[in-house]
Structure 1
Amino acid sequence: MADAATAARPSSSEQPLMQPGPLARRSPFVTGMTAAAGVAVTYGVVELIIAARQVLLLVGLAFFVAMSLEPTVSWLVRHRLPRWTAVLSVLVVALGVVAGFLAAAIPPLITQTRQFAVQVPGYLQSLQDPHSTLGRLNAQFEVQQRVQQLLSGQSATLAQGVLGAGQLLLDLISGAVVVAVLVVYFLAAMPSIRRALCRLVPADRRPRAILIGNQIFDQTGAYLLGNLITSLIAGTTAFVWLLIFGVPFPLLLAVLVALLDLVPVVGTITAGVIVSLVSLTVSVPVLLATVGFLVVYRVVEDYLLVPKIIGRTVQVPATITVVAVLLGATLLGVIGALIAIPVAAVIRLLLREFVLPRLDHT
Structure 2
Amino acid sequence: MGATISVQYRPVAGARSDSSAESRHVNSPTREVDLDWRSVAWVLVAFVALLAVTALIRGAPRALAVLAVGTLLALAIDPLVGRLTRRMGGHRALGVGAVMLGLLIAFVVAGALLIPRAIDQGRDLSGETDRVVGQIEELPVIGDDLARAGTADAVRRAIESIPDRLEGEDTPLIGAAQTLADGLLVGLFTLLITVSLLLDGERLLRGARRVVPVRVRPQADRLGRLAYVTFGKYVAGSLLVAGIAGLAVLAVGMVLRVPLTPLLAIWVALFDLVPQIGGAAGGIPFVLLGFSKSATTGVICAVFFILYLQFENHILSPMVVGRSVKLSPPATMTAALIGVSAGGVVGALLAVPVVAAAKAAYIELRPGNPDETEGGG
TM-score norm. by structure 2 comes to 0.70
Please state how far the C-alpha of 1:178 moved relative to its aligned partner: 1.0
Does the CA-based 8 Å contact 2:132-2:292 persist in structure 1? no
Within the candidate set 213, 220, 224, 2:235 is matched to 224
208-217 vs 143-152, which deviates more?
Answer: 143-152
Pairing 1:106–2:112 present = no
1:81 aligns with 2:87: no
Letter in 1 for 2:81: V
* Match status 1:257 vs 2:262: no
Partner of 1:67: 75
Aligned to 1:347: 358
Aligned to 1:90: 99
What is the aligned partner in structure 1 of residue 124 from structure 2? 115
The reply on whether 1:55 has 2:66 as its aligned counterpart is no
CA distance in 2, matches of 1:321, 1:130: 39
SS at match of 2:212: coil
Question: What CA distance in whole angstroms lies between the structure 2 residues aligned with 1:331 and 1:110?
Answer: 36
Aligned to 1:309: 320
> Letter of the aligned partner of 1:74 in structure 2?
G
Partner of 1:291: 302
**1:139 maps to amino acid:** A
Unpaired runs of at least 5, structure 1: 1-44
Gaps of 5+ in 2: 1-52, 369-377
Aligned CA distance change for structure 1 residues 199 and 228 (closer, same or farther; 3 Å): same
Counterpart selection for 1:332 from 340, 343, 346: 343
The CA deviation string for residues 110-160 of structure 1, in whole angstroms up to 9 with x for no partner, is 2222232xxx14533554678545975743655467665897997898825
> Contact 1:71–1:218 at 8 Å: present in 2 too?
no
Instruction: Give per-residue Cα distances to partners, 1:187-215, cap 9 Å, x unaligned.
Output: 21111211233234331221232233123
In 1, Cα distance between the equivalents of 2:234 and 2:85? 21
Q: Quote the residue 1:30 is aligned against.
A: none
> Post-superposition shift, 1:217?
1.8
What are the equivalent positions in structure 2 for 1:123-138 lying under 5 Å apart? 123-124=129-130, 127=133, 131-133=137-139, 138=146
Note the alpha carbon deviations across 1:338-362, whole angstroms, 9 max, x for none.
33322232232233334x549xxxx
Contact 2:234 2:353 in 1 (8 A): yes
Contact 1:198 1:206 in 2 (8 A): yes
**1:239-278 paired onto structure 2 within 5 Å:** 239-278=250-289
Query: Which secondary structure state, in structure 1, belongs to the residue aligned with residue 288 of structure 2?
Result: helix
Deviation at 1:242, TM superposition (A): 3.4
- Distance in 2, matches of 1:214 and 1:180, equals 24
The answer (yes or no) to whether the contact 1:130–1:139 under 8 Å persists in 2 is no
Distance (whole Å) between structure 1 residues aligned to residue 262 and residue 304 of structure 2: 17
Is the 1:316–1:345 Cα contact (8 Å) retained in structure 2? yes
Report the equivalent of 1:194.
Answer: 205
CA contact (8 A) 2:250 2:261 kept: yes
Aligned-partner Cα distance in 2 for 1:344–1:140: 53
One-letter amino acid matched to 2:110: F
1:183 corresponds in structure 2 to: 194
Displacement, 1:71? 2.5
Q: Distance in 2 between matches of 1:295 and 1:158?
A: 42
Q: Say which SS state the counterpart of residue 329 (structure 1) adopts.
A: helix
Aligned-pair CA distance for 1:305: 0.8
CA RMSD of aligned residues (A): 3.5
Matched-pair identity in %: 27
* 1:205–1:281 CA distance, 2 compared to 1 (3 A): same
Q: Which residue of 1 aligns with 2:221?
A: 210
